[in-house]
Amino acid sequence: MFIEFHRNLIADQIRNEVFYAALKQSITPGITTVADLGSGSGLLGFLALKLGARDVYFYEYSPALKLSQKIARQNQLKRCHFIHEHSRRVAKPVPVDLIVSETLGNYVYEENILENLADAQRFLKPGGRIIPQKVAQFVSPVVTDRFFNELCVWDHVGYGLDFHPAREMSLNNLYVRRIESTDLLENGSSAAQWDSADLTRKKNASVRRGRAEWTLRENLTIYGFALWWDCTLIGEVNLTTHPARPPTHWEQIYCPVLEPLRVRSGQRVAVELYSDSRYEIGATLKWEVVVSDGNLEVTRQSLDMKHGGMD
């Protein structure tokens, strides 16, 4: 039920406190008007009101909007304006001084934050601001086998049956997992940034590509790649899903390989990632892994979420 999703958000005190700090820096009591895009249960908009926002506009197309209206009445909150619609379908929005939108996913673009905030520019008065402002994505090789083994249960069906097609589908997918630093190459210290976006821009490409490369210092087996993100809300106020930082309701993303990569010291491992979060697509990712020894390519594996679903 939708209430469980919103309960998990409310339970995330790190998320709540960071957004509260960003709103506090951005609101001039009695003056600032705010639009909360994808307002859900209404927490961020209600915090804006508590901090003195003059008016808050709640845009939400799900049944959560009715819940937020009840909560507003329960708390006798005034100056609330509820719009039961997705923000990008609103033809003539009321101009505001500040937009806040918590549409960050475990895979950061899965809730269309790039597209939503680009469209949201038309909600702003001249000189208006947006929270959040920037996002960066990171990747690191996974060197423990626990996630890979979980996905390869198809190898052990038994009864003389070969479930290899199901195994291949499983591996051509992303997985939300609680990844630890100890699961990563060099405990994550060699992680690489493969993507970044300025969320205050009027246009961000929905199709994005990035690359990362490592030269191994010892013989290792690589079982996939971990993804996480850092997000700048405003100024020095940040959120992160880094595996070594205190956990939030968001987790990390595990990108499997088709077969474990046994890599020798001195060899290079490179991963290329291709992300597409266009509205008509939803959110999809492809990743290609290459192991090289000098100028010689040792192995290459290509994975695509489109191969992880039924035709």
Q: How far, rounded to the nearest angstrom, does the alpha carbon of residue 2 sit from its chain's CA centroid?
A: 19
Tell me the C-alpha distance between 265 and 14, whole Å. 39
Q: How much is the average pLDDT of 247-267?
A: 98
Nearest Cα to Cα of residue 222 among 253, 187, 190, 260: 260
Percent of the chain with pLDDT over 90: 95
The average confidence (pLDDT) of the chain is 96
Alpha helices in the chain (DSSP H): 2-11, 13-26, 43-50, 64-74, 113-120, 146-151, 164-171
pLDDT for 95 beyond 80: yes
As a residue count, the chain comes to 311
Phi, psi of 15 (to 5 degrees): -55, -50
pLDDT score of 33 more than 60: yes
Side-chain half-sphere exposure of 15, counting CA atoms within 13 A = 20
Residue 253 has pLDDT above 60, yes or no: yes
- CA gap 19, 102 in Å, rounded: 9
How does strand 284-293 pair with strand 296-304? antiparallel
Asked if 120 contacts 130 with a C-beta cutoff of 8 angstroms, the reply is yes
The domain ranges of the chain are 2-102, 135-308
Distance (Å, whole) CA 57 – CA 37 = 8
Model pLDDT, residue 282: 86
**Residue 95 neighbours by CB under 8 Å, 6+ apart:** 33, 123, 124, 125, 128
Closest C-alpha among 242, 228, 231, 107 to residue 181? 242
Beta strands in 178-267 (DSSP E): 192-198, 207-215, 220-234, 237-240, 252-263
CB distance 82 to 58 below 8 Å: yes
SS3 state of residue 206: coil
Q: What is the C-alpha separation between 93 and 116, in angstroms, rounded?
A: 14
Structure tokens at 19: 């957004």
The average pLDDT across 112-134 equals 96
The number of CA neighbours under 13 Å toward the Cβ of 215 is 3
How confident is the model over 180-214, as pLDDT tens digits? 999 999 999 999 999 999 999 999 999 999 999 99
Query: Quick check: 310 pLDDT over 70?
Result: no
In tens, the pLDDT along 152-171 reads 999 999 999 999 999 999 99
CATH class, 2-102 region:
alpha beta
Q: Give the fold, CATH level 3, of 135-308.
A: Hnrnp arginine n-methyltransferase1 (2.70.160)
Q: How many CB atoms lie within 10 A of CB 211?
A: 14
* Dihedral of alpha carbons 26, 28, 32, 37, sign: positive
